[in-house]
Chains A and B, each alone.
Chain A
């Protein structure tokens, strides 16, 4: 395989909240390869956003990287402290598209200016040249009559149009890595599809590495090459889309997929994961998912599992993959998926 452009190793991120220490990211590791699309999935509070924000040095003031490394082009971003250092990364190397387009743009500046200031900042363009390029980018993200739209304000744009503008800002940055933090969650369904399509086509055209944060597995199947599943601040399984959807190995991934309404059996109640995510204020021993996993092994409560490789691209952090582990059958829905996958692979 080619060299990763970003390599995160054993990242630990902590926050101090009301005098207590919360460990939001508990040793997460992830590699990103050029021009691929990786989806990070997980429930709310699993640390998806925090994980990616550390790559930009955009943690809230009460949070810090406790240990681990974030290697980008030979530099360890986990050691970056000053604004000056981060300014060499933000926008230039890594850019971000946020969830809510309604509030992501400054209401008092024209849309054109908000894109143009990026061109001036990162590419040293000025005046007419910058304006021309801005209008060109507006067109590229699918905004009609870009010349007229250039001088308009965000309140004259609809939600989907504003998200296109936010994406245009990211495109203007021309980054190596683009992080999309639930970019379609705040939009209605028809617009969602359009925005997904736009992101996908831009990714192909620009060859950027796309990181897609979402809890919508439907979106994942649509856009991603690879999937990383996050639970309680850890990446517990990663692999190609096919591997994760058709051959999941971690009990949490099983549970997550089983709760998809599309996979439910007609007439039976929809599956939901019992219990609540662990309290991140206390130290977690063993597998964080064990208390919610009816088939948990004894060792799951005692020792944290390492990654076991399933295939060159597929690994999962579960003791079930240890050669000494007893055979635990996945739930019926997952077995059905696996059977389908075997058929599909042959």
Chain B
């Protein structure tokens, strides 16, 4: 178990390293105009060169890479060049984190609660009325692009009025709790469908196993079988991708944050990509991809905790 975790950890470190390097190198391929902002036309070639030199962009790529790593190890992600000129990237991101994390945690709570119970409910009523109703919901969420139904929610639900006044405001306002509801629902709809679908699938998988038959034959009630055998076993494959999903949700929804103008990391990413603030883009992409990799790592460790069969070499139970 410990050896497995350590090996998995080392693998993750290597993966993060590769991703960081790739992101850095890809950023070097972007056109240089981005570094001059709006003033590109007003600058003389000499001034442009001076700016590029200031950012260290005239050095060969491997020197740049080395410089990047040495400052990264010191915790320095560079400074913003356009979004807020000369402000350290870390300071900009820092004030965004609380919004993303609190929305994310709330969304995770809501989607785990509703998603898992929906999945359990579907599995227990497999093939019957409620299974089909919830399946329709899952299919809808997966088949319709999120942009479509999220826009519909924003457009039409905000149109609902009570005594002539809108119930839900269209944009986020940190001092008005009612404006938190729609973004929260929007964030949860997708993951509820995801959790429900997987939970149902894994539970149905378990229900068809021989050992469920034996458990019934030895006189356990359906309820006992559900709790002691089915749910726990169904949760193991879920455990694998839960941390990824949690980490990516708390790091902010790119689309929903910009839709409702929530000042979180997701909205920031959209913003700085549009404005070509390369150091900020780079830093955010690093954060998102590392979170993804740590999520996978935690998922594997979590699954190993739940499933005694798992060692790195042999993974018969993993799917």
Contact = CB atoms under 8 A, between A and B. Distances in A.
Interface of A: 56, 58, 83, 87, 89-92, 95-96, 98, 100, 103-109, 117-118, 121-122, 153, 155, 166, 169-170, 173
B220 A108 contact: no
B143 interface: no
A109 B215 CA distance: 12
20 contacts: A87-B219, A91-B219, A91-B220, A92-B219, A95-B218, A98-B213, A103-B210, A104-B211, A106-B215, A106-B233, A107-B309, A107-B317, A108-B233, A108-B236, A108-B306, A108-B308, A109-B228, A121-B220, A153-B309, A173-B219
Contacts, number: 76
B215 A58 contact: no
Given A108-B307, A153-B309, A169-B218, 13 more contacts: A58-B213, A58-B216, A83-B221, A87-B221, A91-B220, A95-B219, A100-B210, A104-B214, A106-B215, A106-B229, A108-B232, A166-B214, A173-B219
A121 B216 CA distance: 12
Contact of B219 (A98, A109, A118): A118
A170 B215 CA distance: 11
Contact of A122 (B216, B219, B316): B219
A83 B309 contact: no
Contacts of B210: 98, 100, 103-104
A117 B220 contact: yes
Chain B facing A: main interface SS: helix
B217 interface: yes
A96 B308 contact: no
Given A87-B219, A91-B219, A105 B214 contact: yes
Interface string B286-311: 00000000000000000000111100
Contacts of B317: 107
A56 B306 CA distance: 32
B44 interface: no
A105 B213 CA distance: 10
A109 B224 CA distance: 14
B205 interface: no
Given A107-B309, A108-B308, A90 B213 contact: no
A83 B232 CA distance: 22
